[in-house]
Chains A and B, each alone.
Chain A
Amino acid sequence: MLIIGIGNPDRGDDAAGILVARRLRERGIEAIEHACAMLNLLDLWATGDRVILADAVVYKAAAGSIQVWDPWKEPLQRITFRASTHEFNLADTIELARTLGRLPKWMRIYGIEGRDFEAGTGPCEEVASAADRVAEEIAGRFSARS
């Protein structure tokens, strides 16, 4: 299982995915931090058939709300990942990977709703707490498999 936390740790709630990766590593579970450059994910996840991603999202829900997507069941709405600083955001990258036949066979995407993405600030309490819950759920999934 390849676990990738996406985001910018210096940009408010955009740190959500990075926090998930850090919490997992604190539990002894390997997880990669990926800051920006979404297209690089195509090479990163080429090493695994089963991939979990965690990222901040803007879905007009309450800060800290958690959603889980299976990209094989539904295409991701591009607006969802507008928090990414790159226009080639996670949803675009997943759709490009699908077109090129480079989408991992199994994937789950955990989206944590962010509220504030200002540079030089940390995540809000709700997002930090949501990152803990996501890490816990992924860790549970991980231990169930091992």
Chain B
Amino acid sequence: MSRVEGEASLAIRLKGDQIRDVRLKIFEPPRLFEALLSGRHFSELPDITARICGICPVAYQMTSVHAIERALDTTVDPSVRLLRRLLYAGEWLESHALHVYLLHMPDFLGYPDAIDMARAHRTEVENALRIKKIGNAIMSLLGGREIHPVSVTVGGFYKVPSKAELEVLIEDLKWGLDQAIANMRRIGQFEFPDFEEDYEFVALSHPDEYPFNEGRLISSKGLDIDVREYERHFSERQVKHSNALHSQIRDRGSYLVGALARVNLNFSKLPEVAKQAAEDAGLRIPCRNPFKSIIARGAEMIFALHEALRIISVYEPPASPSVPVPARAGSGCAITEAPRGSLYNRYSFDENGLLQSALIVPPTSQNQKRIEEDLWTFLPPLSSLPTNELARRCEQLVRSYDPCISCATHFLRVNVERE
């Protein structure tokens, strides 16, 4: 499977036009990150978890730092909270620009990949790389480097920028905003496969803002919970054919996280400019067509650029980059919105601040069951297509989820009883 992060394959078994089996297989070895964290001091965790994923390190770092701060009853300065939102905006920009323009767009323009697309659409690809670079610049400025940021610490940042340092980004952000809006007009001209499913969308929701780091977890079918209740409502299940666990809502089944879920559940919180661009591109709420996730990601790029400009305009450096965080025993959890969807972390610490237990539930493992169920519906009308074409259509559907397979695999302890 190409243009999907990590290593995965999809096994489909057909008999005539009947589907016998559909399995999304994840080959990556179990990533053992939870075991790797065991016994570590809380201060080490944000930098280690950032290494779980090369595409969304901020999401892992932010979720980790929020869960630790809740466990240790820490409140950060409001300016620190703003900077963390800005860092998250940088990651969304970088991740969404890569997926929308270089991984997903070739499907709609009829190219096998971005390399072939660049031959005919060089300016568009150069502009996409420039938008991605704006995200990198935010990550470098706030995170200390473009990838696997190292400046975030429990209680704040090791170092915070001055207002003038942030203002350097303004011209590029304004250019990016104009470009992202123009690109949405192009996306609105794409032909989308006629396919809809009755998804249960799940995402954070905040009363005053489009969600990055904070809010209640809600769904389109009535779920509305504090993140501390997550494990009461959601479960993970091992399946034989994949290293990644399948998540489900207890007693209900699969659900969908990510940009399409967020936009459906939080459309009113998007800035007007993003709402307008999404509507002009043909998005109507509720939107249950997974291929239209490219519009949702496009709207979120506009939001991220708009939000970055807003944050820079109101930012004043905090009195101190961080607050002291003494070690103590405690447990805490957090959910933040990674580019690919809700990411859950839960930790318990002993009185010395050493990690006793951890649970990390990445977005792709939450979507994996939903992807397989989509394929059960999507495939039958296509079953008579030549194998290569059938495979291409299925790849396009899976790609519309922007799965990050390498984050989706982690450790599960298995106990075997013999009689």
Tell me the A residues contacting B by CB distance below 8 Å: 8, 10, 35-37, 39-40, 42-43, 82, 85-88, 92, 95-96, 99-100, 117-120
Contacts and interface: CB of A to CB of B under 8 A. Distances in A.
Interface in B289-325: none
Interface size class of B (residues with CB under 8 A): 35 or more
B33 A120 contact: yes
Contact of B54 (A85, A99, A117, A120): A85
B29 interface: yes
Contact of A119 (B32, B102, B114, B122): B32
Contacts of B98: 39, 88
A36 B36 contact: no
Residue in B32, B103, B115, B136 with the greatest tally of chain A CB atoms within 10 Å: B115
A47 to B, nearest CB: 14
A40 B136 CA distance: 8
Nearest to B409: A119
A139 B260 CA distance: 51
A86 B55 contact: yes
Contact of B113 (A39, A42, A86, A92): A92
A87 B115 contact: no
Contact of A100 (B36, B126, B147): B126
A140 B2 CA distance: 38
A96 B114 contact: yes
A92 B148 contact: no
Interface string B1-41: 01111110000000000000000000001011100100000
A85 B5 contact: yes
Contacts of A99: 115, 118-119, 122
B112 to A, nearest CB: 12
Nearest to A86: B54
27 contacts: A8-B54, A35-B54, A36-B55, A37-B54, A37-B136, A37-B146, A39-B98, A39-B102, A40-B146, A42-B129, A85-B53, A87-B2, A87-B6, A88-B98, A92-B113, A96-B114, A96-B115, A96-B125, A99-B119, A99-B122, A117-B29, A118-B29, A119-B32, A119-B36, A119-B51, A119-B52, A120-B32
Chain B CB count within 10 A is highest, among A8, A43, A117, for: A43
A118 B33 CA distance: 11
A36 B122 CA distance: 24
B269 interface: no
B119 A36 contact: no
Nearest to A117: B29
Contact of A35 (B2, B126, B133, B148): B148
B132 interface: yes
A100 B122 contact: yes
A40 B102 CA distance: 14
A58 to B, nearest CB: 11
A95 to B, nearest CB: 5
Contacts of A42: 129
A88 B102 contact: yes
B147 A35 contact: yes
Contacts of B406: 85
Interface in B392-415: 406
A145 to B, nearest CB: 29
Nearest to B31: A119
B125 A100 contact: yes
A120 B3 CA distance: 25
A96 B102 CA distance: 10
Given A10-B51, A96-B118, A36 B6 contact: no
Nearest to A36: B54
Contact of A37 (B2, B103, B147): B147
B5 A87 contact: yes
Nearest to B33: A119
Interface string B156-196: 00000000000000000000000000000000000000000
A8 B3 contact: no
**8 closest cross-chain pairs (CB), A and B:** A36-B54, A99-B118, A120-B36, A119-B31, A85-B54, A95-B115, A37-B147, A96-B115
Contacts of A92: 113-115
Given A95-B115, A120-B33, 4 more contacts: A35-B54, A37-B146, A96-B114, A96-B125
Interface string B93-118: 00000100011000000000111001
Contacts of A118: 29, 32
B129 A39 contact: yes
A2 B5 CA distance: 28
Nearest to A85: B54
Among A8, A36, A86, A119, residue most surrounded by chain B Cβ atoms (within 10 Å): A119
